[in-house]
C-alpha cells in the first residue's frame, strides 16, 4: 500500500516561490545540504532555486558567506546572529530574492560550547527584512536535521506572506 | 525487522578521508545537495568536510565555481569538461584537499539539449589529477540522484587510492 503523501513546508515554499516568481538561496550548516536536496527533489525547482552554499565549517561561513569572524568567535556558530548573517550572505552571494540560513547542533554530540543537541537557529531574509527563529528539537540526528530544514522553509513562507 | 545496513561508497569515502587526514569539497548540480547531505549524515564528518556549493543553475557554476562561460555555452552544463571544472573550482573556492563535481540530467524531463535522462558526469580532483566519468543511469529522479552521488564518491575513492 502506498503511504499517502504528506505535503511538506518545503513543497509549500517551492509552490509559493513559483506563484510569486521569486528565487531562494540556501546556506546550510547542520543540515549539510538537506534543504537544497529537498528543494531539488521537486521537479521544476530550477525555476526558483539557483543554488546554495553548504557552510559546514566556520571558515566557509566567514570566507564565502561573509559572517563576521568576531560573531563566530564570541557567540559560536550556533547562534541567532550567525543564522541571520548566513541568510543575508547567501542571498547576496548567490544573487537570489530570498536567502535562508540554518545553523544548529544535530547531534549525537554537542559542540564545544556545551549547547544542547537539537538547538537550531533558522533565518530567512529578503534583503529588507531578516527573520530568525530559535528551535529546540527532540530526536535523533536525522530527525533533527529534517525538522530544521522544515522550520527554515516555514519561516521563509512566513516572510513571503508578510 | 531492521534492514541490514548496506555500506555505501559515501561512507567508504568518509572513512578513507579520515584515515588519510584529507578533506573534500562538493560541487553539485543535479544532486542539489544530496552528496553533502549524505556525507554529513555521518556523525564526525566535520573532520573531513568543510562544505560545498550547490550550483543548480549555470550562473552559479560560472560566477562561484569559475567554470568557463564558453564551455557552458558550447557544450551545455551536462558535459565532462564542466564536471571537471566544477571539481577543480570547488576544491579551490572551499579550500579542500579534494573537490568533487556532479552534473547531469535527473529527469523526469530532459534539458533543452535533448541529452537523455540519466546521463551524469562525475569528477574528482586533487589539484594535480582530475578524473572524470560518464554515467548512464536507469531509474526515476530519486534513484538517478542517489546513483550519481554514489558514483562521485566512488571516483573520489579511486583518486585517493592512486
How far is the C-alpha of A160 from the C-alpha of A17, rounded, in Å? 8
Substitution target in A25, A29, A37 with the highest count of B β-carbons within 10 Å is: A37
The CA distance from B141 to the nearest CA of chain A, in Å, is 8
Q: What is the tens place of the pLDDT at every residue in B134-157?
A: 999 999 999 999 999 999 999 999
On whether any CB of chain A is under 8 Å from the CB of B35, the answer is yes
Parts of chain A with a pLDDT under 70: 1-3
Q: What angle do CA A155, A157, A161 make, to 5 degrees?
A: 115
Out of B46, B108, B142, whose CB is closest to A57?
B46
pLDDT of A2 reads: 62
Interface confidence, given as ipTM, is 0.96
Strands (E), B5-157: 24-28, 51-55, 98-104, 119-125, 130-136
Q: What is the tens place of the pLDDT at every residue in B67-118?
A: 999 999 999 999 999 999 999 999 999 999 999 999 999 988 887 778 999 9
Q: Mean pLDDT score of chain B, rounded to an integer?
A: 95
pLDDT of A95 reads: 98
User: Higher pLDDT residue, A150 or B162?
Assistant: A150
- The percent of residues in chain B predicted with pLDDT above 70, rounded, is 98
Q: What is the tens place of the pLDDT at every residue in A52-95?
A: 999 999 999 999 999 999 999 999 999 999 999 999 999 999 99
Which chain B residues touch A43 with a CB distance below 8 Å?
107-109, 141
Check CB contact under 8 Å for B141 and A43.
yes
Strands (E), A56-91: none
- The domain A21-161 having CATH identifier 3.40.1710.10: the answer here is no
A–B interface: beta-carbon pairs under 8 A: 121
Are residues B152 and B122 in contact, defined by beta-carbon separation less than 8 angstroms?
A: yes
B1 falls in which pLDDT band (50, 70, 90)? low
DSSP 8-class letter at B47: G
Q: Is the pLDDT of residue B4 over 80?
A: no
Check CB contact under 8 Å for B33 and A26.
yes
pTM: 0.96
On whether any CB of chain B is under 8 Å from the CB of A5, the answer is no
Amino acid at each position: 500500500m502506498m503511504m499517502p503523501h504528506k505535503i511538506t513546508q518545503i513543497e509549500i515554499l517551492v509552490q509559493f516561490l513559483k506563484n510569486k516568481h521569486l528565487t531562494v538561496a540556501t546556506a546550510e550548516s547542520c543540515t549539510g545540504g538537506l534543504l537544497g536536496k529537498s528543494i531539488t527533489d521537486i521537479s521544476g525547482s530550477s525555476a526558483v532555486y539557483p543554488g546554495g552554499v553548504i557552510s559546514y565549517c566556520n571558515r566557509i561561513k566567514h570566507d564565502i558567506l561573509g559572517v563576521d569572524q568576531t560573531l563566530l568567535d564570541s557567540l559560536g556558530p550556533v547562534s541567532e546572529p550567525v543564522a541571520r548573517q548566513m541568510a543575508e550572505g547567501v542571498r547576496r552571494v548567490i544573487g537570489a530574492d530570498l536567502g535562508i540560513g540554518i545553523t544548529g547542533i544535530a547531534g549525537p554530540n554537542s559542540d564545544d560550547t556545551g549547547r544542547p543537541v537539537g538547538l537550531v537557529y533558522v533565518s530567512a531574509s529578503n534583503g529588507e527584512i531578516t527573520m530568525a527563529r530559535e528551535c529546540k528539537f527532540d530526536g535523533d540526528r536525522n530527525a533533527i536535521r529534517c525538522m530544521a530544514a522544515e522550520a527554515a522553509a516555514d519561516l521563509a513562507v512566513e516572510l513571503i506572506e508578510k
